Each structure stands twice: as C-alpha cells, then as structure tokens.
C-alpha cells in the first residue's frame, strides 16, 4: 500500500513490546534516545499539552513529588526493581475497568515508556522479565518484540520535526465501535484494525501526511483511498477504519491476514509488530485501553521528542 507514518514515529511503538527475539537484543547496538520536549518555536501549547511538554529534568522532579497526580508526564525508572513495579502497576491498572479517565491515560503512557526503557536497557531487561507475574508475561513478551521491530524500522538521519498536528484521540468506546463495525462488515477482527491504527497514527492523534503522502488516521495514499474509501472522508475516523477493513478483506483477510497486512504496508517488521500488538488485544481486549494512552514520540538526530496533544509545527 505504502510506507506510512509508522516509520517516522517508530519510538512511540517501542514504548510497549515483547517476545524472545527482543530479550536478546544487543544493548550496544540499540540506540539510546534523549527524551526532551518539542522545541518552543513550534507552537503555543494549550495548558494540558504544556504540562506534557516538560523537559526531562523537570519531569523527574514532578515524578518525585507526585502523589496520584495523573496530569503529568510519567517517567520510567532506571533500575530493574522500580521498573518492574511500574510495569506491573501499569499493566494491572489497564486491565482494571474501574481505572478510567486521566488515571487510565497516565497508566497507558507509563506502560509505553517502561517498555521503551526495557528496549534501551539490555543490562536490566532480563532482571525485569524474570520478575513479571505469569499472567502478564505473554503480553510483555509480545510488546517487547513488537516495539523492537518498530525500533529497527524507519528512516535515519532525520533533522526536522514533521509537518503534523497532534490532536486528542477519539474516545475508547467510539474507536471500539468503529473497529467492530468494520469487523462485522468485512470479517477483519477488530484487534488488527486497532493495531494498525496504533502503529500508523497513535489512534488518530497524528494529523498530517506521511513522508510518502499517506493521509488520515489509517494512512491511505489518495489513489488507494479512491479505490477503497467508498466515497467517504479520508480524515474521518469511522470512514478510514471501514476503508481499512475493506482493503484488508480484499487483500485476503481474515484467512490470509499476515499477507493482507503486508499489502497494507510492505515491510516485514511492520507486519510483525502489527501482528503482535493485535495478539495482545486478542488475548485480552482490555489491553486496548493501554494502547489508547500511547503518545507520539519522534526521533531525530538531535534526540527523541515528545509531541504532546495540542502540538503543531509552525
């Protein structure tokens, strides 16, 4: 289909991943990004986005004093014991229907950052994974493997932030309804559509074209949209998810789902990541609640930038 936005913000995906290949990643060859806020000259942040744009030093100060504050950027620990505690805390909260709103969003973001730290830190990864409770281990394995795939996938040498706007993702229930609608019409299980939506635009947070010209929350090239959009709006979440179901069905899903996803984006690492994120949600649909909280990170040669909701390049 095309190379979508996934390649550009691969770090966002690396913040949640797992499986045996990743556990043996060589920490020397794995890049260690420098997290920072997007530069001040890119926009005027709204209050919520401004809180999310704090530099690493200030984020650590806030994290040290916070007491059940969910309106700050979480910070992944640097030691195995605390990182394990954070992972279990986030995974348990995501699977607890009583956790909602800002607390749920915080836990999803924390989950994302913990897995990225585990990909970065091969020296503590095994110690953390040795302590993960048995019921959470399959999801952790899949998340590490998927995130490692996305880490290795994408352009290098990028020097400028993209021409994007970052918006709030549609509500969880709205997205699930759209995925289920596409599943009912085209037979593509909802969790594959959710995984593609996650990898492509962080559940629709990214507004703007990919470097290849793909558009909308499910990243269609305009010519492909003309064939599968059924007269809808490429930037409309419901229309785009239905079009993705229509496209995947035409490409052989659900019987040949792996081939269909490869047709959607011709990259083996992309396919592998989508399949693994989808499997996490197939095993436990509540896992979608965590992915919904993942934020947009962008890698440049100068560091890795958080592009918070409300950010735009000016």
Strand order in the sheet with 303-307: 35-37, 303-307, 296-300
Which of the residue ranges 3-17, 71-85, 246-260, 266-280 would you say has the lowest mean pLDDT?
3-17
Residues 121 and 154 placed together within one structural domain of the fold: yes
Residues 57 and 117 placed together within one structural domain of the fold: yes
Residues 74 and 193 placed together within one structural domain of the fold: no
Residues 18 and 149 placed together within one structural domain of the fold: yes
Residue 65 lies in a domain: yes
Residues 128 and 211 placed together within one structural domain of the fold: no
List pLDDT tens digits, range 48-73: 333 333 334 344 434 434 457 899 99
Residue 28 lies in a domain: yes
Count of domains for the chain = 2
- pLDDT at residue 137, as a whole number: 98
Residues 128 and 182 placed together within one structural domain of the fold: no
Domain that holds residue 258: 165-282
Residues 62 and 142 placed together within one structural domain of the fold: yes
Residues 82 and 70 placed together within one structural domain of the fold: yes
Residue 258 lies in a domain: yes
What region, left, alpha or beta, does residue 303 occupy, with left being phi > 0 and alpha being psi -120 to 50 degrees? left
List pLDDT tens digits, range 243-273: 999 999 999 999 999 999 999 999 999 999 9
Hey, which residues does 206 pair with through a beta bridge?
166
Q: Which two tokens stand for residue 93?
A: 């909260």
Q: Is the pLDDT of residue 157 over 70?
A: yes
Q: Which residue has the tokens 């909260």?
A: 93
Residues 108 and 199 placed together within one structural domain of the fold: no
Residue 288 lies in a domain: no
Instruction: Determine the Cα–Cα distance for residues 247 and 230; give it in Å rounded to an integer.
Output: 11
Where residue 212 falls among pLDDT bands split at 50, 70, 90?
Answer: confident
Residue 20: CB atoms within 10 Å:
9
DSSP code at position 301: T
Residues 62 and 111 placed together within one structural domain of the fold: yes
Residue 314 lies in a domain: no
Residue 287 lies in a domain: no
CATH number of residue 214's parent domain: 1.10.530.10
Average pLDDT, the chain: 82
Residues 155 and 23 placed together within one structural domain of the fold: yes
Where residue 175 falls among pLDDT bands split at 50, 70, 90?
Answer: very high
Residue 313 lies in a domain: no
Q: Which residue has the tokens 């699977």?
A: 95
Residues 112 and 242 placed together within one structural domain of the fold: no
- pLDDT at residue 153, as a whole number: 60
Residue 312 lies in a domain: no
């Amino acid at each position: 289909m095309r190379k979508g936005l996934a390649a550009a913000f691969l770090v966002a995906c690396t913040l949640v991943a797992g499986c045996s290949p990743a556990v043996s990643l060589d920490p020397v060859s794995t890049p260690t990004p420098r997290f920072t806020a997007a530069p001040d000259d890119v926009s005027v942040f709204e209050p919520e986005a401004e809180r999310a744009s704090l530099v690493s030093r200030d984020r650590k100060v806030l994290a040290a004093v916070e007491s059940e504050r969910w309106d700050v950027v979480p910070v992944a620990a640097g030691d195995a014991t605390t990182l394990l505690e954070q992972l279990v805390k986030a995974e348990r909260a995501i699977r607890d229907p009583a956790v909602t709103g800002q607390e749920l969003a915080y836990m999803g973001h924390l989950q994302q950052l913990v897995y990225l730290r585990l990909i970065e830190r091969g020296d503590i990864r095994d110690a953390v994974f040795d302590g993960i409770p048995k019921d959470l281990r399959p999801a952790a394995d899949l998340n590490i493997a998927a995130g490692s795939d996305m880490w290795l996938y994408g352009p290098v040498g990028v020097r400028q932030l993209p021409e994007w706007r970052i918006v709030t993702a549609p509500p969880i229930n709205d997205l699930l309804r759209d995925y289920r609608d596409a599943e009912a019409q085209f037979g593509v299980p909802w969790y594959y559509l959710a995984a593609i939506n996650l990898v492509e635009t962080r559940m629709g947070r990214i507004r703007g074209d990919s470097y290849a010209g793909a558009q909308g929350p499910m990243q269609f090239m305009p010519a492909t949209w003309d064939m599968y959009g059924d007269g809808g709006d490429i930037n409309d979440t419901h229309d785009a998810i239905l079009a993705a179901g229509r496209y995947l069905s035409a490409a052989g899903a659900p019987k040949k789902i792996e081939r269909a996803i490869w047709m959607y984006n011709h990259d083996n690492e992309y396919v592998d990541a989508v399949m693994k994120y989808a499997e996490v949600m197939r095993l436990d649909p509540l896992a979608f609640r965590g992915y919904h909280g993942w934020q947009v990170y962008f890698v440049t040669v100068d560091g890795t930038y958080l592009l918070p909701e409300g950010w735009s390049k000016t």
